[in-house]
Structure 1
Amino acid sequence: MSLVDYSFADAVARIRLNDAARGNPLNQAILDALADAVRRARADDAHVVVLTAAGKAFSVGGDVAAFGATDDPGQLVDDLAESLHRVVSELHRMEAVVVSAVAGAAAGAGLALAAAADLVLASESARFTVAYTKLGFSPDGGTSLLTASLGLHRLLKLALLNPVLGADEAQALGLVAQVHPDAELDRAVEGVVGVLRAGSRAAQVAVKRLARETSTPAEETALRRETLSIRARAASPDGREGVAAFLAKRAPEFPASPVRATMSPKMP
């Protein structure tokens, strides 16, 4: 069984995450397979790329078990972030409209991957959460780029408080373009694909390029900063405690940050 399925027909590339039993975690193996599928879509000169996932989750995000098993979590997370960022950059730059279809959970890097699409469709049962700070990590996968589409304070709320958003809430925030009943999501995706295929590819690509270059002109710099930040957080005591707590299914006990004593100004 391949971790990522790829097919191409009628100018439409279809990429499906296929590690359903584990919730499609974005480990190195699945990211390598995903990168290969994206390269194939580009080589096939796809007009539309459809990104989906098998099973009950779109993606649970990072493979936390792997974080806990390594002696060097900083390097592991650095490698994973760079691999994910290459995929995200390729999806953003390719001359195709990318559509993601989310059913079930899209958490952490899974949310970032879904949001890398140009259009995000969701089933009514879809759930979205940023989740990184629960592990003592900072986000990667282009999560910081969502400031351009969601707004600064909305993104900070999602990243700092880690609410789990239902599909309708995600649509209200602007993360999701359309929400459909679970049983109708596949048909809705095909409807969107049909609209895109009937349109001018050149015009669609021009719109995509203009919008992305205007909203995130320093994308590569932002992605590199995300990599450096998450690497440092993963290797930190907070990151190690967050991973250990997650695997033990307990609440993390992050050490309290020291508070600097400040002198009150003297009154005249």
Structure 2
Amino acid sequence: MSAVTYTLDGPVARIRLSDGDRGNPLNPSSADELGLAVRRARSDDAHVVVMSAEGRAFSVGGDVTAFAEADDVGVMIDDLAEALHRTVSDLHRMDAVVVAVVHGVAAGAGLALAAAADLVLAGASARFVLAYTKLGFSPDGGSSLLTASLGLHRALHLALLNPVVTAQEARDLGLVAQVHPDEELEAAAEEVVRRLASGARTAQVAAKRLLRETAIPAAETALRREAVSIRARAADPDGREGVAAFLDKRPPMFR
């Protein structure tokens, strides 16, 4: 079963995480599917790209069960990070405005994926959490780029203490552009998409490039550092203990 679906509706490409029964976890396979969908949107010359998800969550983040079953978890994490980072870079650089529509939980790489969009719209019940250090991992997926939108110490607070941030708190922090009642989120997102699709594309893309390149001029360098770091942390005993403790539903016993 596909973990990602893609449809083109005129100038609007819609990318939907479709493993909703499992919370849309990210593993090398689903990350590859996501990357293919983003590249297809670019090939189709989409003006607006909408990322959304089926099920109870936008994405629970990395597929911890797959990590535990991997013969070499460091290699698996490296493959996942590289695939996800290519996609994040493509989203940043494509000649389209990217809109993330978030409901439920956006955790770990799921939060980073949402943050890769140009505009993040959230339902009132949405929740955001990094949670990497709870597993003994360091952040990836572009999480370090949150310093540009949140500021250094707010980003450190999310990375080190792993608070669960409500949709309204995420808006106050600068991560989310708009918060809507859950039952109104889809209609509100469609209105934003309509406004973007009817706007001046060249001006929108120019604005996106100017602001992104000013805020995060060395994004690819940061993504590479993240990939190198999380591979080492995943292969470390603390990373292995974090994964085991998560699956056992017990507190981890780090060194």
TM category (shorter chain) comes to over 0.9
For 1:112, the equivalent position in structure 2 comes to 112
- Equivalent-residue separation in structure 1 for 2:77 and 2:29 (angstroms): 13
> Secondary structure of the equivalent of 1:138?
coil
Give the CA deviation at 1:50. Answer: 0.3
Give the CA deviation at 1:71. Answer: 2.8
C-alpha deviations, 1:17-59, integer Å up to 9, x for none? 0001110001112111111111110111000000000001000
1:7 maps to a residue whose letter is T
For 1:34, the equivalent position in structure 2 comes to 34
> Secondary structure of the equivalent of 1:131?
coil
Q: Does structure 1 conserve the Cα–Cα contact (< 8 Å) formed by 2:11 and 2:47?
A: yes
Instruction: Report sequence identity in percent.
Output: 71
- Equivalent-residue separation in structure 2 for 1:171 and 1:9 (angstroms): 29
- Equivalent-residue separation in structure 1 for 2:249 and 2:198 (angstroms): 49
Root-mean-square deviation (CA), in Å? 0.7
For 2:192, the equivalent position in structure 1 comes to 192
C-alpha deviations, 1:45-89, integer Å up to 9, x for none? 000000000001000000001111123111110000000000100
- TM-score normalized by structure 1? 0.94
- Equivalent-residue separation in structure 2 for 1:137 and 1:30 (angstroms): 20
For 2:211, the equivalent position in structure 1 comes to 211
1:78 maps to a residue whose letter is D
- Equivalent-residue separation in structure 1 for 2:163 and 2:9 (angstroms): 38
Gaps of 5+ in 1: 256-268
1:80 maps to a residue whose letter is L
1:62 maps to a residue whose letter is G
For 1:179, the equivalent position in structure 2 comes to 179
- Equivalent-residue separation in structure 2 for 1:69 and 1:219 (angstroms): 31
- TM-score normalized by structure 2? 0.99
Out of 233-242 and 66-75, give the one that drifted further. Answer: 66-75
C-alpha deviations, 1:147-188, integer Å up to 9, x for none? 011000000000000000110000000000000000111001
C-alpha deviations, 1:78-106, integer Å up to 9, x for none? 00000000010000000000000000000
- 2:33 equivalent to 1:45: no
Q: Does structure 1 conserve the Cα–Cα contact (< 8 Å) formed by 2:28 and 2:76?
A: no
Question: 5 Å matches for 1:1-268?
Answer: 1-255=1-255
- Equivalent-residue separation in structure 2 for 1:134 and 1:143 (angstroms): 15
Number of aligned residue pairs: give it.
Answer: 255
Out of 2-11 and 42-51, give the one that drifted further. Answer: 2-11
- Equivalent-residue separation in structure 1 for 2:198 and 2:165 (angstroms): 33
Spell out structure 1 runs of 4+ moving beyond 2 A: none
Give the CA deviation at 1:197. Answer: 1.4
Give the CA deviation at 1:2. Answer: 2.2
- Equivalent-residue separation in structure 2 for 1:235 and 1:28 (angstroms): 17
- Equivalent-residue separation in structure 2 for 1:208 and 1:13 (angstroms): 18
Give the CA deviation at 1:195. Answer: 1.1
